[in-house]
Structure 1
């Protein structure tokens, strides 16, 4: 298989794949995608085109067999879109120095060692919105984390911002992340210092799902100061990279990583950013993909918020200041909403306020619920019992939670 021992390739591919039967063709294609993830730099248009039009295995075979640029270009060209031979030649020259048979095997061994998985577009947990990147889509994803977090990407919102965050920016991020988690969104970010890190930490503290996209391999956490945070994300969320294990982060890879954050998310919110902040790159990708874009304003005298004001003024970003406004950019079916009153129920107003004060994910004490709802403690205790009988709330050791079916049943 590509000049390698088939049994070794098959064993390594199975070790990093989800349980299930893989025939020879599936193994070949998965290995080819793993190889392409290290062969081409993220976002390589011609690599993506070759994988899509020739298939990952045949595209890799073309490189292994040293197809010349004319043959390669002809294989990718269509009647309406010809690939310039010079572009093809330059692409081959980029790929060939990395064409080492051991590289993909080493990456697979390292992934198996760290418990990482290889995700391809054929997998059920593949984030399908990444397909909107077309030829710039990743060949594969390397993942460490839970299936729940991967599945939760479908309800993901990106929270991004400056590394040099101010106290204002971190406070806003904490409130936004926790509030969106309460509304059953998954928080997506890049695990950088500042705004990204706070978004992840607040999501974890609220017992929510969070996903971090890295610019290097998932076996080497970056930045190193977030090693503990990323370890917690692996345990309760997911850490994802399009680069194989062992790959170092570079400036280009950070910029390309941002396209994955924007593409995987329902919407992108920039919480604090300077005039030239890297998070504006993520915002640019979101705008290009047609994703909703929001920005949180800051003090007009703050250089740390100049980028947010620039997005609002010049790039049609929506000004958002609360989790509710952020959620309006990308509503989801499971989002917590105020329910219409039942005119036949004398306690309908109290019921609505209680349901609004409850979270489907985080258990809350009766004191906390009373504070959030503005109801008397005795009323809260009495009404919670009624909600439990109706199957709209449940009591746990840590407090009360709203049942997931409550939203639907109230409509």
Structure 2
């Protein structure tokens, strides 16, 4: 499988183009793309093989019988489900399918981000054997590692109360430098994304299907805007349909990416509780917004407060307090060291500058500059207008 892919110059050529012309580590990149095509998101058997032998070696072990006879790999024979997994993977184990995924990604300008890249979110390693092999991204890959990130999720059938609270929370958090992560769905997800974009902030939408199939259809324009100004991310490759089980698997990525997860509104059996469960399992701070005790739309949030030991949050300030242990107690500007001084020195009280301009002048990464500006804004040292940022 992997040898056939690496011998296919057409596949390797498009893989290099998607990677910006880079040939370094191409075998690992192609292998990880292949795993995203072959295995369903969260496939633990694929995860064990990748962890044990690497992406390339794992493919050889799975599909090359001779590789499984070598003494140095026999210790992985404890993977009892391998035979069943190989039967499960066989229909997709085609070099042509991997090449189609690469070409579809290239057609929409998508990138492939893999572990070891500067834009790879290391928090995903907390998922263990269920960590994704790679991520397909449309938009700004650097947002995957920007800090802090807050997952804002909730019911698709949101009430006016839920929409309003989600918009206020997400807008306030985005204004102060947080990246809003959600699932691009109707209801709370959409309100959170729109609020972040509306204040000129950053947002990431994690999809259940390929990034070339913007779903739901009613959010095509919203997701297009996110792809242009933020990032649209998926674990399945381009062309993959957003099936029911992929939504559930997608939720673990939303929880893992966030430094904290906030459930704004959710029914008793809402899918948002699945995201909350992943956040709790990962040890991420979990917040829930209370609602009227008579509202079925808030029953899930009340359940989180009672059964999951979630923290009650009613404002962006309380969300920032919730994140204190994982990203530094806000406003922890004093702990930013010389980067703070460089960012402040790069700014003017008379002229507003974009984050890119400030980062270039200060000699710091754009994501780092964005986080510092958000914390400085909390402190009251800087302010933001329609042109950018300036010192007060």
TM-score normalised to structure 1 length = 0.78
Shift of 1:400: 8.0
Shift of 1:17: 1.0
Shift of 1:7: 2.5
What are the Cα deviations for residues 275-321 of structure 1, in whole angstroms up to 9, with x where unaligned?
00000000000000000000000000000000000000111000110
Alpha carbons of structure 1 residues 84 and 48: separation in structure 2 relative to 1, 3 Å: closer
- 1:353-368 correspondence to structure 2 within 5 Å: none
2:188, 2:71 → 1: CA distance? 43
2:353, 2:316 → 1: CA distance? 16
- 1:254-333 correspondence to structure 2 within 5 Å: 254-331=247-324, 332=327
Q: Which runs of 5+ in 2 are unaligned?
A: 335-351, 356-379
SS at match of 1:55: helix
The more displaced of 264-273 and 59-68 is 59-68
Is 2:219 aligned against 1:226? yes
**Alignment partner for residue 78 of structure 2, among 76, 79, 83?**
83
**Alignment partner for residue 103 of structure 1, among 97, 109, 114?**
97
What are the Cα deviations for residues 14-66 of structure 1, in whole angstroms up to 9, with x where unaligned?
1111454x24xx11111000000010111011101101111111211233324
What are the Cα deviations for residues 140-170 of structure 1, in whole angstroms up to 9, with x where unaligned?
1000011442332x31100000000000000
What are the Cα deviations for residues 199-247 of structure 1, in whole angstroms up to 9, with x where unaligned?
0000000100000000000001000100000000011100000111000
- 1:158-177 correspondence to structure 2 within 5 Å: 158-177=151-170
Alpha carbons of structure 1 residues 146 and 310: separation in structure 2 relative to 1, 3 Å: same
Partner of 2:63: 64
What root-mean-square deviation, in Å, do the aligned CA atoms of Structure 1 and Structure 2 show? 2.7
Partner of 1:14: 16
1:240, 1:290 → 2: CA distance? 23
Aligned length: 347
Shift of 1:392: 4.8
Contact persistence 1:72–1:88 (CA under 8 A): no
1:323, 1:395 → 2: CA distance? 18
2:179, 2:231 → 1: CA distance? 11
- Regions of 4+ moved over 3 Å: 70-78, 331-339, 359-362, 391-396, 398-403
- 1:129-278 correspondence to structure 2 within 5 Å: 129-152=123-146, 154-278=147-271
Contact persistence 1:49–1:76 (CA under 8 A): no
Task: Give the number of the structure whose alpha-carbon radius of gyration is greater.
Answer: 1
2:292, 2:384 → 1: CA distance? 42
Alpha carbons of structure 1 residues 296 and 238: separation in structure 2 relative to 1, 3 Å: same
What are the Cα deviations for residues 70-92 of structure 1, in whole angstroms up to 9, with x where unaligned?
759993746xxx7253x221111
Is 2:109 aligned against 1:115? yes
Q: Which runs of 5+ in 1 are unaligned?
A: 340-358, 363-390, 407-411
Shift of 1:393: 4.4
SS at match of 1:102: helix
TM-score normalised to structure 2 length = 0.82
SS at match of 1:139: coil
Is 2:29 aligned against 1:36? no
1:124, 1:338 → 2: CA distance? 24
Alpha carbons of structure 1 residues 60 and 182: separation in structure 2 relative to 1, 3 Å: same
1:19, 1:237 → 2: CA distance? 23
Contact persistence 2:184–2:193 (CA under 8 A): yes
The more displaced of 91-100 and 104-113 is 91-100
SS at match of 1:2: helix
Contact persistence 1:277–1:307 (CA under 8 A): yes
Contact persistence 1:176–1:322 (CA under 8 A): yes
Shift of 1:183: 2.2
Contact persistence 1:195–1:272 (CA under 8 A): yes
SS at match of 1:326: helix
What are the Cα deviations for residues 82-109 of structure 1, in whole angstroms up to 9, with x where unaligned?
7253x22111111112111200000001
1:171, 1:97 → 2: CA distance? 46
Alpha carbons of structure 1 residues 177 and 361: separation in structure 2 relative to 1, 3 Å: farther
Shift of 1:399: 7.0
1:72, 1:106 → 2: CA distance? 32
